[in-house]
Structure 1
Amino acid sequence: MKGWSLPTAAAVVAATIFFSLSTMALPAASAIVEHTFVVNQMNMTHLCKETLVTVVNGQVPGPTIEVTEGDSVTIHVVNKSPHNITIHWHGVKQRRNCWNDGVPMVTQCPIQPDQNFTYRFSVAGQEGTLWWHAHVSCLRATLHGAIIIRPRLGASSYPFPKPDREIPFIIGDWWAMDLAAVARRMKQDNFFDYFPSASTINGKLGDLFNCSGVAEDGFVLDVEPGKTYLLRIINTALFSEYFLKIAGHKFTVVASDANYVRPYTTDLVVIAPGETIDALVVADAAPGKYYMVAMPNQAPLPDTQTPEPSTRGMMQYSSSSRPGNGAPVAPVMPDQHDVVQSFYFHSNLSSLRHPRHPLAPVPKRVDEHLFITLGLGIACRRGLNCDREDEKENILVATMNNISFLQPTAPLLAAHYYHVGANKDELQELPDKPPKVFNFTDPSLIPIGPKEKALERTYVATLARWFRYGSVVEMVFQSTSIMQGDSNPMHLHGHDMFVLAQGLGNFDAAKDRARYNLVDPPLKNTVVVPNLGWVAIRFVADNPGVWYMHCHFEFHLSMGMTAVFIVEDGPTVNTSLPAPPVDFPSCGRKDNLVPDEFYLQTQEITASRIDGV
């Protein structure tokens, strides 16, 4: 294995710099869109219980960032909470701007309590729906909001009928407990005793939930007959992929992850954590009230069954808003365990062919091939050997190619940029393939027992993979059945991925590569690896920096289903990572050291290893 050094936990500090908006009116030029995000805590009451939650500007969901393609965005984050905070701009490509990607101890030191930091980034070359969220374990459940990027030529330039109204539609979950405590217990106790209390639409629980017999408020969409509505659907949940239906109506899916897709009509949207789906809904039913139901799905037995609460809002016609117009119509939902519906939905996505939106060419040459298995394993909490039967000595972890990610104690991006560090601390290279080939999707491996025991041993390490600038990378993500049969929404920061093909069961290169869509595959920043299935993707490593690749289920992320992809500088200034912002947050040191002085001080990372398979 390759050894690579890490830095110490500190950074250069300076005062926060605030941009001022230009007073000149330049209607044809790009603008600077500026927000201040004050992160603090407040009490919210749901289900007859008051819960202390961490929020931005006193609201859940947080503020929507509305911009036009080509604009620059400036977000002043003022941390008045007791937690270390970073904000990730999910799906924003951050071209040569990895410093602003917002991943703690990967791209930056977190913003500490009573400290500020200003994020600055561009949305050039992107249109559609993205989102922002805290990249701090579990806090994204209440720290999140939409990013809407409209075309520079206006809504009339959409490659679909211009909607009469656009609505952010944010699916989430509500936890009637302290999320920071959930995060701590998740890492200590393997999480499986802690679950959300409710699901939400735009922060509202809906009338499936009540407090002492009084129904919770639900999201209501008032519509007018014959008009068209663009729903910008975002799944911010920590835990679940969702089925979404509106009784009596159909969706026309037109975009996903801020990339246009060939429109197709369906009565069911399936959306995993991290994904966005743009869908048109025409108010073409008889005037009345129609439930909008978001229902989590989950893997069938023998997988562990967990509480999965649905929620619902209301779509009501303006002519039927008066009381006494009859009960709302409810949609017929799929079976909660019919996870193949997710496979069918995502298989229908393909990129749009349109004169104003030329297809991105799929690179034909491939420089690197990776086959990455996703699953669970058992590692020792400390030391090299431990008793498998002693739960106090073992920890359940999530893995990529049978290695679980160890959170670094210092920012990796600065170490990469300054080429410094001591040789005590090592990054481990993500292998091309798993250490052992077996029937990856054998359902008999799901129950904990003697059969999976031989495959469950693993270890933890800070897992990384290096790519030359401009390399074309092909990856096959293969889900495995070791102790679970979940799907996995895999999110790559800083890049979009061509989704070439997906399938159920084990990937077979001999026959499955012949099925690759090399003409119009969808471009995604979050790809759903099906339950006990696989996805093949391809991307160009042309954005220098250190980029997170991880599962967007919070428990899988916290348990280590993560790696960092390090893209080296290209041959020119315009293909290289620039210096960090002068106001970059520190990791807690009071003194202001220059980078070389600072990074020559190192701190050992202890990675517990055990004998692997």
Structure 2
Amino acid sequence: MAATVAFFFFAAILAAAAAGGGDAALVEHTFIVSQVRLNRLCNDTLVTVVNGQLPGPTIEVREGDSVVVHVINKSPHGLTIHWHGVKLQLNCWADGAGMITQCPIRPNNNFTYRFDIVEQEGTLWWHAHVASLRATIHGALIIRPRPGPSSYPFPKPEKEIPIVIGEWWEMDLVELDMRLRNGNLFDVPRAATINGQTGDLYNCSGAIKESNILNVEHGKTYLLRIVNAALNSEYYLKIAGHKFTVVGADANYVKPYTTDVITIAPGETVDALLVTDAHPGGRYYMIAMAYQPPKPAKQFPLFLSRGIVQYYDNNASPRKEEEALPNTPMAPEMPDQHDAVPSFYFYGNLTSLQPHPLPTIVDERLFYALDAGYFCREGGSSCQNVSNIVATINNVSFQLPETTPLLQAHYYNNMKSGIGTLPDGSPRMFNYSMSLAPTSKATSVRKLRYNTTVEIVFQSPVIADSYSNPMHLHGHDFFVLAQGFGKFDEKKDVKTYNLVDPPVRNTVHVPIYGWAAIRFVTKNPGVWYLHCHYGHHSSTGMAVALVVENGPTLDTTLPPPPADFPSCDNYISMLANE
């Protein structure tokens, strides 16, 4: 078995090298996961991070490269690392979705991820995929084009700047996940962050060094590689006195779109050009502000983080953070934190730059109602005492398997009892105006044949107490055909589908009070997780596992697992002893 795995990996490296004209490289990293104390908000907080950093290391590659990441787990938690948006063709074993593709890497154990970057360019990211650990275990994954004529489809930027939006939690993230699973959906972070810093709004030392300061030259073009690594919120991003030209999303190029506000939901990435054409003597706030649903949804404090864009003379050295600055930064006018319209129009204005072969014949049509329900702790369909509030798809709350990851069970034809098939549509009248209804829990899957064209319509609740849903599919990109407000009407809304240049994404933002439609082809065998990227939704069950069967040939068949694949036996024993 080990020889077979080695053959597949070696063959993949040779193929990538051939595709890259000999320019492909092997990019190697070591991730040491440990707990460190970081000072934010005037407190020292114990957090779990990679290589002592927040965010973690940026992985920089070129299209066609092969990546090797050695994960050394010195933390007290089992964990996996997911390569968010990387297609991982014929390499589902490297996807890093806890208990979907693998058991977590146990404390004091190691595991090496190996994967290729094929036909992808732009910004992706990596993050932990166990409990809520991704709030502090994450980093950017930047894919540049190979040198030559196939370089960027826009003027080469002066500099590329990662902008990672996140949240600062002053609580144990594994405990947070347990609280979510027990029905407590109202824990909130203490602050928003940009590149791991809370910004000057949360400054308790009097110094500006906690802010993110971008020193730029006048008249230059910068490429901002923006990642939303937050657990809880979609964010609006603005820079006073400047506009963005959006050129990519989820490592796919889009037709250049100029805007003064960027909308980015958890799990998503956006590539945007920033032209520094404002007055060079000014200083300008960059603000990331969390959107939250309006009442009657439960209201949380306003979360935002501020950085500063400031200019420096081309012939002078950049200002240091500690130096006194002469003037107060200009602040942008932000959307109202409850206003969903800028978000809806931002997503609606994205179209694909490059022509893609959009499949026209749909083999499988699925309708996934994204909702919430309750599950009685004492069992039954009605609760006499306290019930758990859970997130659902088609009235089923997804439960992770406890002993055997789904991919392993699928590969060895061992899908046992307890694994159910998710209905293709809601088994009851979708809850447009009623209160919460009882739901069921299951490890729910949907089997799909190889090379099947699948269309999914996602429907968010249209009741007053509603929310948006960023739905992320592992192992595949998909076409975003349309979005709309209200209840999806097949006769009317199919006519609004963009069948010419729909954007290609790995995460679709299903708007609040609305729906979104996607289409993709199953050409990557394995078990691929489809889930909402809000932490409280994914932890409580808004998910399904798509089982893509093997194709008819060896090069459409999932190879066996790596020889050093993490064992589940000891991991389950560790959980039993906690």
Q: Fold-level match, TM-score > 0.5?
A: yes
- In the TM superposition, what are the counterparts of 1:217-232 in structure 2 within 5 Å? 217-232=210-225
Deviates more, 1:465-474 or 1:482-491: 482-491
**Is 1:261 aligned with 2:242?**
no
Correspondence 1:429 to 2:421? yes
Residue 56 of structure 1 corresponds to which residue in structure 2? 50
- More moved, 27-36 vs 245-254: 27-36
- Residue in structure 2 matched with residue 37 of structure 1 by the alignment: 31
**How far 1:361 sits from its partner (Å)?**
1.0
Q: Aligned runs of 1:175-194 on 2, under 5 Å?
A: 175-192=169-186, 194=187
Q: Distance in 2 between matches of 1:44 and 1:27?
A: 44
Name the counterpart of 1:310: 304
Contact 1:61–1:202 (Cα < 8 Å) also in 2: yes
Deviations along 1:529-566, whole A, 9 cap, x unmatched?
00010001001011000000000000000010010000
Q: Deviation digits for residues 186-227 of structure 1, max 9, x if unmatched?
A: 2224231x1110111111111010226666601111000101
User: Would you say 1:516 and 2:497 are equivalent positions?
Assistant: yes
Question: Hey, what does 1:128 align to over in structure 2?
Answer: 122
* RMSD between superposed Cα atoms in Å: 2.4
Shift of 1:99: 0.3
Q: Residue 157 of structure 2 is aligned with which of 163, 166, 183? A: 163
Find the aligned partners of 1:245 and 1:130 in 2 and give their Cα distance: 21
Deviation at 1:386, TM superposition (A): 4.3
2:484 aligned partner, one-letter code: G
Asked whether the equivalents of residues 73 and 108 of structure 2 are also in contact (C-alpha less than 8 Å), the reply is yes
Q: Is residue 99 of structure 1 aligned with residue 82 of structure 2?
A: no
Q: Counterpart of 2:418 in 1: which secondary structure?
A: strand
Identity %: 58
Inter-CA distance 269–318: structure 2 relative to 1 (3 Å threshold): same
Distance 1:106 1:480 in 2: 27
Are the counterparts in 2 of residues 205 and 216 from structure 1 also a CA contact under 8 Å? Answer: no
CA distance in 1, matches of 2:303, 2:207: 18
Contact 1:220 1:315 in 2 (8 A): yes
Aligned AA (1:329): M
Q: In 2, Cα distance between the equivalents of 1:99 and 1:87? A: 12
Task: After TM superposition, list the pairs within 5 Å mapping 1:71-470 onto structure 2.
Answer: 71-153=65-147, 157-192=151-186, 194-211=187-204, 217-287=210-280, 288-319=282-313, 321=319, 323-353=324-354, 359-387=355-383, 389-391=384-386, 394-409=387-402, 410-420=404-414, 422=416, 425-438=417-430, 440=432, 445=433, 451-453=434-436, 456-470=437-451
Aligned residues of 1:208 and 1:215 also touching (Cα < 8 A) = no
Confirm or deny that 1:472 pairs with 2:468: no
Q: Write the distance in 1 (CA, Å) between the matches of 2:454 and 2:339.
A: 32
Check whether the contact 2:295–2:465 (CA below 8 A) recurs between aligned residues: no
Letter paired with 2:102: Q
Structure 1 residue 481: Cα displacement: 4.5
Aligned to 2:576: none
Q: How does 1:570-581 map to 2 (within 5 A)?
A: 570-581=551-562
* Contact 1:163/1:230, CA 8 A, preserved across alignment: yes
CA shift, 1:37, in A, is 0.4
Report deviation, 1:468: 0.4
Given that 2:246 and 2:254 are in contact with CA atoms closer than 8 Å, whether structure 1 keeps it comes out as yes
Q: CA deviation at 1:117?
A: 0.4
Call closer, same or farther: CA 1:155–1:283 in 2, change over 3 Å.
Answer: farther
2:285–2:306: 8 Å Cα contact kept in structure 1? yes
Residue 179 of structure 1 and its aligned partner are, at CA, apart by 1.6
CA contact (8 A) 1:376 1:482 kept: no
Matched-pair contact (CA < 8 Å) for 2:80–2:128: yes
What is aligned with 2:543?
A: 562
- Larger relative contact order (CA 8 Å, sep ≥ 6): 1
Task: Label 1:47 to 1:379 Cα distance change in 2 as closer, same or farther (>3 A).
Answer: same
SS of residue in 2 equivalent to 1:169: strand
1:339 Cα offset (Å): 1.2
Report Cα offsets for 1:55-76 as digits up to 9, x if no partner: 1011000000000100000000
Cα pair distance change 1:350/1:27, threshold 3 Å? closer
Q: State which drifts further: 170-179 or 67-76.
A: 170-179
Distance in 2 between residues matched to 1:112 and 1:572, nearest whole Å: 35
State how far apart, in whole Å, the 1-side matches of 2:105 and 2:425 are: 36
- Kept in 2: contact 1:164–1:228 (CA 8 A): yes
**What secondary structure is seen at the aligned counterpart in 2 of 1:185?**
helix
CA 168–370 in structure 1, closer or farther in 2 if over 3 Å, else same: same
Q: Deviations over 1:106-128 (max 9, x none)?
A: 10111000100000000011111
* Conserved 8 A contact 2:246-2:271: yes
Which whole-Å deviations, capped at 9, do the CAs of 1:254-298 have from their partners, x for residues lacking one? 000000000010000000000000000000010121000000011
Name the amino acid aligned to 1:265.
Answer: T
Map Cα deviations across residues 285-344 of structure 1 (whole Å, 9 max, x no partner): 101210000000111112211123101100000139474532111101011111121111
Deviations 1:357-411 (A, max 9, x none): xx21110000000111101101122433442x521xx111000011100111111
Q: Is the 1:172–1:235 contact (alpha carbons within 8 Å) kept by the matching residues of 2?
A: yes
TM-score (norm 2): 0.92
Contact 2:463 2:513 in 1 (8 A): no
- Structure 2 contact 381–438 (Cα < 8 Å) conserved: no
Asked if 1 retains the 8 angstrom alpha-carbon contact of 2:462 and 2:487, the reply is no
CA distance in 2, matches of 1:343, 1:544: 33
Partner AA of 1:431 in structure 2: P
Report how far residue 178 of structure 1 moved: 1.8
Compared CA separation, residues 560 and 482, structure 1 to 2 (3 A) = farther
Deviation at 1:167, TM superposition (A): 0.6
After superposition, the Cα gap between the structure-2 partners of 1:386 and 1:419, relative to the gap in structure 1 and judged at 3 Å, is: same
TM-score between the two structures when normalised by the length of structure 1: 0.87
Residue 540 of structure 1 is matched in structure 2 by 521
Aligned to 2:64: 70
SS at match of 1:415: helix
Contact 1:170–1:235 (CA<8 Å) still a contact in 2? yes
Task: Give the CA deviation at 1:136.
Answer: 1.2
* In structure 1, C-alpha distance between the alignment counterparts of 2:301 and 2:180, rounded to whole Å: 16
